[in-house]
Structure 1
Amino acid sequence: MIDDAARCGYSRCRAALPAPGPQGGRRRAFCRDTRWEAGRTCAQMARAEREALGALGLDSGGTAFALDADRLREHVDAVRGPVDALAASLDAVLRRLDEVQRDALEAVAAANGQVAEAERMRVAAEQAREEALLKARRADASAERAGRERAEAGERADAAARQALEATEALGAARQAAERAVADRAAAEEAAAAAGERRDAAEDAAREARARADRLAGEVEVAREHARQWREAGEADRAARDTALEGQRVAEAAAAAAREEQRRAADETAAAQAGHRDAQRRVTELAQAAAGDRAARERAERELLTAVERAEGERALRERADAELERLRIELAEVRTRHAVEVRGLLTGD
Structure 2
Amino acid sequence: MIVDAARCGYSKCRQELPAPGFQGGRPRSFCRDTRWDGGKTCAQMARAEKEALGALGLDAGSSTFRLDAERLRDQLDGVRGPVEALTAALDAVSRRLDEVEEAAVAAVETANAQVVEAEKARLSAEEAREQAELRTRQSQAAAERAAKERTEAVERASAAARQALDATEALGAARQQAEEATNARRAAEAQAAREAERAAGTDRQLREIAVAAERLLAERDAARAERDTARAAEADRRTDLEAARAELLTLQDKLAAAQAKTQEAETARLHAEAAHAAQTESTARALADAEHQLTTTRAQARADVEALRTELTTRAEELHRQATQATTELESLRTQLAAQDSPTQRLHPDDLQTLLTALTTTPR
Deviation by residue 1:179-237 (Cα, 9 ceiling, x = unmatched): 43453344334324422421331232232133124324424643664687589788956
Q: What is the match of residue 219 of structure 2? A: 282
Matches within 5 A, 1:31-180: 132=68, 135-136=71-72, 138-149=74-85, 152-153=86-87, 155-180=88-113
Deviation by residue 1:31-61 (Cα, 9 ceiling, x = unmatched): xxxxxxxxxxxxxxxxxxxxxxxxxxxxxxx
Matches within 5 A, 1:197-208: 197-208=130-141
The one-letter amino acid of 1:304's match is L
Q: What is the match of residue 191 of structure 1? A: 124
The one-letter amino acid of 1:305's match is E
Tell me, yes or no, if the aligned pair for 1:205 and 1:265 is still in contact at 8 Å. no
- How far, CA to CA, are the matches of 1:158 and 1:332 in structure 2? 28
Tell me, yes or no, if the aligned pair for 1:174 and 1:293 is still in contact at 8 Å. yes
Tell me, yes or no, if the aligned pair for 2:62 and 2:276 is still in contact at 8 Å. no
Shift of 1:141: 2.9
Q: What is the match of residue 269 of structure 1? A: 206
CA 265–288 in structure 1, closer or farther in 2 if over 3 Å, else same: same
Shift of 1:288: 2.3
1:222 matched to 2:145? The reply is no
The one-letter amino acid of 2:229's match is G
- How far, CA to CA, are the matches of 1:148 and 1:196 in structure 2? 66
Shift of 1:269: 1.8
Shift of 1:325: 1.5
Tell me, yes or no, if the aligned pair for 1:199 and 1:272 is still in contact at 8 Å. yes
Shift of 1:262: 0.6
Shift of 1:254: 0.8
- How far, CA to CA, are the matches of 1:275 and 1:285 in structure 2? 15
Tell me, yes or no, if the aligned pair for 2:73 and 2:269 is still in contact at 8 Å. no
The one-letter amino acid of 1:136's match is L
Task: List gaps (5 residues or longer) in structure 1.
Answer: 1-114
- Secondary structure at the residue paired with 1:191? helix
Q: How large is the RMSD of aligned CA atoms in angstroms? A: 4.4
Q: What is the match of residue 108 of structure 1? A: none
- How far, CA to CA, are the matches of 1:180 and 1:174 in structure 2? 10
* TM-score, length basis structure 2: 0.49
The one-letter amino acid of 1:156's match is A
CA 144–162 in structure 1, closer or farther in 2 if over 3 Å, else same: closer
Tell me, yes or no, if the aligned pair for 2:65 and 2:273 is still in contact at 8 Å. no
CA 343–290 in structure 1, closer or farther in 2 if over 3 Å, else same: same
Deviation by residue 1:277-326 (Cα, 9 ceiling, x = unmatched): 23322322332233233224323322332332232223222212211212
- Secondary structure at the residue paired with 2:183? helix
Q: What is the match of residue 255 of structure 2? A: 318
Q: What is the match of residue 342 of structure 2? A: none
Q: What is the match of residue 52 of structure 1? A: none
The one-letter amino acid of 2:91's match is D
Which region of structure 1 is more displaced relative to structure 2, 237-246 or 316-325?
A: 237-246
- How far, CA to CA, are the matches of 2:62 and 2:278 in structure 1? 13
1:307 matched to 2:229? The reply is no
Q: What is the match of residue 293 of structure 1? A: 230
- How far, CA to CA, are the matches of 1:218 and 1:263 in structure 2? 19
- How far, CA to CA, are the matches of 1:211 and 1:301 in structure 2? 61
Shift of 1:139: 1.0
CA 241–335 in structure 1, closer or farther in 2 if over 3 Å, else same: same
- How far, CA to CA, are the matches of 1:169 and 1:145 in structure 2? 31
Tell me, yes or no, if the aligned pair for 1:202 and 1:268 is still in contact at 8 Å. no
Shift of 1:252: 2.1
The one-letter amino acid of 2:76's match is D
- How far, CA to CA, are the matches of 2:69 and 2:108 in structure 1? 60
The one-letter amino acid of 2:142's match is A
The one-letter amino acid of 1:215's match is K
CA 166–289 in structure 1, closer or farther in 2 if over 3 Å, else same: same
Shift of 1:343: 8.1
The one-letter amino acid of 1:281's match is A
Greater relative contact order (Cα < 8 A, sep 6+): 1
Tell me, yes or no, if the aligned pair for 1:146 and 1:321 is still in contact at 8 Å. no
The one-letter amino acid of 1:283's match is R
CA 183–340 in structure 1, closer or farther in 2 if over 3 Å, else same: closer
- How far, CA to CA, are the matches of 1:206 and 1:247 in structure 2? 24
